Amino acid sequence: MKKIQVKVRSNEDNSYEILIGQGLLSQIAGDLVEASIAHSHALVTDSNVADLYGAKLLSDLGEVLPEVSMIVFPAGEQSKTREIKSFIEDKMLESGFGRDSSVIALGGGVVGDIAGFVAATYMRGVPCVQVPTSLVACVDSSVGGKTAVDTPHGKNLIGSFYQPWRVYVDTDMLKTLEPKQLAEGLAEIIKYGVIRSEDFFQYLEANIEKIYDFDDATLLEVIETSCRIKAEVVEKDEKEQNLRKILNFGHTVGHAIEQLSDYTISHGEAISAGMAIEGEIALGETGWSKEEQGRLTLLLQRAGLPTEPPRGVNVGKIIDVMKIDKKARKGKIEMSLPECIGKMKEHEGDYGIKIGEQTIISAFRS
């Protein structure tokens, strides 16, 4: 088992551990008894994960903890709404959950985001245990404390920074994933190499296919390295004032693509296309080279990910969505762009770069 300490001490000590290894699902109940973080526990999951892992974890928890309830909502990005958040909160209130409660988020990114947001606001904040079951959740959404819901105006526009009590990454649970679901996580993993570590990018170039073979050593290496990179960034900038903006590479364009598809395009696919397009933008803005752009697009393609926008996409609508993206400032589109593999461009002390509309249009047409 690998252990990563995330040291977050902005206003108070919100530090926590990420545990990575095989068979960790069976460890959670005992850990919660030993730590005594809460009297009542709300196990929040979705309709896909409930049968796969929810019933087992509920049984484990019920054997050793006094009060446990499982709350299940429909799977999919369409459930990441204020209405589903209210549904979860109402279930907890109806069950008499008080301030001595915890929320256990068992699932992919949608479950982690919405359950984390519930934990941040329920009784003004209760402990949250993140148990990611998808690769993208293991390496990205479960780490760093970003919680949110979507609105008709855009993704993640209503939310909070709220660090978990602990993150359990059980790599055994990844073995039920389809190749497309693995690819979704690989988009975020490749991003970490681009933004922070050329060595890691080279490792991925040499080993990307092994992930699809569920090679345990490779899976452990890419998950641990990804989590360490994100933890290091979050420790330095918890609330995304500057450095943490680099984690948004590919997400300005990607979130717009995802939203305009009505979430028929997965998060990973959208972020992959977003990185390829934002890489094209970087060619004229940061010194990012055509050779590096070629390496990025080739690695994404080898991972089974798209490197072009969806056919028939309306660039004007993409731009409109990006203008109200949470990263925009004064209606101006802002992106974090690579200078070279392993390093993001810093402009006047800021990792956010304002990008003109014509530059974006040209990148979509290239």
Question: 262-312: per-residue pLDDT in tens?
Answer: 999 999 999 999 999 999 999 999 999 999 999 999 999 999 999 999 988
β-pairing, 334-335 vs 67-73, is unpaired
**Reported pTM:** 0.93
Domains and CATH numbers, the chain: 2-176 (3.40.50.1970), 179-365 (1.20.1090.10)
- Which parts of 11-145 are beta strand (E)? 16-21, 40-46, 67-73, 101-107, 128-132
Q: How far is residue 233 from each of residues 192, 237, 245, 328, measured CA to CA in Å?
A: 11, 6, 9, 21
Residue 10: which pLDDT band, with cuts at 50, 70 and 90? low
Mean predicted confidence (pLDDT) in 31-44: 96
41 is catalytic: no
Per annotation, catalytic residue among 85, 91, 155, 230: 230
Per annotation, catalytic residue among 41, 85, 91, 244: 244
347 is catalytic: no
Percent of the chain residues topping a pLDDT of 90: 89
Per annotation, catalytic residue among 91, 251, 295, 345: 251
Given a contact cutoff of 8 angstroms between Cβ atoms, the answer to whether 36 and 66 are in contact is: no
Mean predicted confidence (pLDDT) in 57-66: 95
Residue 12 has pLDDT above 80, yes or no: no
Residue 154 has pLDDT above 70, yes or no: yes
Mean predicted confidence (pLDDT) in 215-239: 94
Residue 43 has pLDDT above 70, yes or no: yes
pLDDT at 347: 81
230 is catalytic: yes
Query: Per-residue pLDDT tens for 264-278?
Result: 999 999 999 999 999
Each residue of 247-262: b (16+ CB within 10 Å) or e? bbbbbbbbbbbbbbee
Per annotation, catalytic residue among 89, 188, 235, 334: 188
Mean predicted confidence (pLDDT) in 55-76: 96
Per annotation, catalytic residue among 12, 83, 124, 365: 124
Residue 318 has pLDDT above 80, yes or no: yes
Residue 331 has pLDDT above 80, yes or no: no
Residue 240 has pLDDT above 90, yes or no: no
251 is catalytic: yes
- SS3 state of residue 180: helix
pLDDT at 11: 65
Mean predicted confidence (pLDDT) in 129-152: 96
Mean predicted confidence (pLDDT) in 131-143: 96
339 is catalytic: no
Per annotation, catalytic residue among 155, 191, 267, 345: 267
Q: How far is residue 227 from each of residues 120, 139, 211, 248, 351, measured CA to CA in Å?
A: 22, 6, 16, 15, 21
Torsion of CA 228, 232, 234, 240, to 10 degrees: -120
228 is catalytic: no
Residue 328: which pLDDT band, with cuts at 50, 70 and 90? confident
Query: Per-residue pLDDT tens for 73-97?
Result: 999 999 999 999 999 999 999 999 9
- How high does pLDDT run on average in the chain? 95
255 is catalytic: yes
Per annotation, catalytic residue among 255, 280, 292, 334: 255
